[in-house]
Amino acid sequence: MIVNGVAIEDTFAEAFGMRATRLVLTADSAEWARIAAESLTGFATSVIGCGCEAGIERPMMPEETPDGRPGVAVLIFAVNSAELAKQVLARVGQSVLTAPGSACYSGLDAPEAIPLGKSLRFFGDGFQTSKQILGRRYWRVPVMDGEFVVEDSVGMVRGVGGGNLLILGESRAEVLAATERAVAAIRALPNLILPFPGGIVRSGSKVGSRYKGLIASTNDAYCPTLKGVTPSRLEEGIESVLEIVIDGLSQEDVAAAMRAGIGALCEVGAAGGVRRITAGNYGGKLGPFQFHLRELAS
């Protein structure tokens, strides 16, 4: 399939099930809500080395938040509910509780939940208080600028992690510019995050390594500098490859994101240096979700 000079490979992105939650962080100003969110979602690019994958979903206006203040919605994904609970507790405790004027609420109404305020309340050393409003319990923990308000528990759902696109092109500058456009198109959609820096990853990996104990290593088949020394997947003229990784609250969310990304890349087209779009998969052996590129591009 060729769209505007861009070859769309007949393959699929393979994704897997994760557990996910949405947190709503608020503060006295939009800037401090953003600072808390950026701190909470730091070092959360991949479950391989970070324990979770997290990112800012979107800013929120005061009329959208539980306490009528500026806010930010963040999404956090982990491999299971126990790890998600661990990551949420640690990150809220270290990055939101500590931020001036902050508060933290559940952003999901879901049958399943993980504890948050019911654990963080102990920081109050016996001075904490709770209140139930409309069936939801909140804790007020005294801190040096007043009090930290945090919801007792936060909703948890089954999410989808690992949707991806590989963008192959003629130069690093052109591929980066095109990928940035795709990231912007994807980020306009709800219920998803792109966990890597700026939504883009250059260090795509393969499973396994020549070195014992290393579970992942550089995806040499897509490294332009290794064309002559490894079985390369790069034809002549391709000198740069970047990847977009997508986590979403549902299979439909990830599919919509990939569709938007492919559309944006095809708009750039061959004239903008994009030669081919492909995706990473493991032959269907890793995860149950398969996102076929040509179906999404149709």
CA-CA-CA-CA dihedral for 94, 117, 148, 62, to nearest 10: 100
Q: What is the pLDDT along the chain (298 residues), one digit of tens a residue?
A: 999 999 999 999 999 999 999 999 999 999 999 999 999 999 999 999 999 999 999 999 999 999 999 999 999 999 999 999 999 999 999 999 999 999 999 999 999 999 999 999 999 999 999 999 999 999 999 999 999 999 999 999 999 999 999 999 999 999 999 999 999 999 999 999 999 999 999 999 998 899 998 989 999 999 999 999 999 999 999 999 999 999 999 999 999 999 999 999 999 999 999 999 999 998 887 789 999 999 999 8
Topology classification of domain 19-157: Alpha-Beta Plaits (3.30.70)
Angle between helices 251-268 and 172-187 (to 10 degrees): 140
Domain boundaries defined on the chain: 2-14+159-297, 19-157
CATH number for the domain running over 2-14+159-297: 3.30.70.520
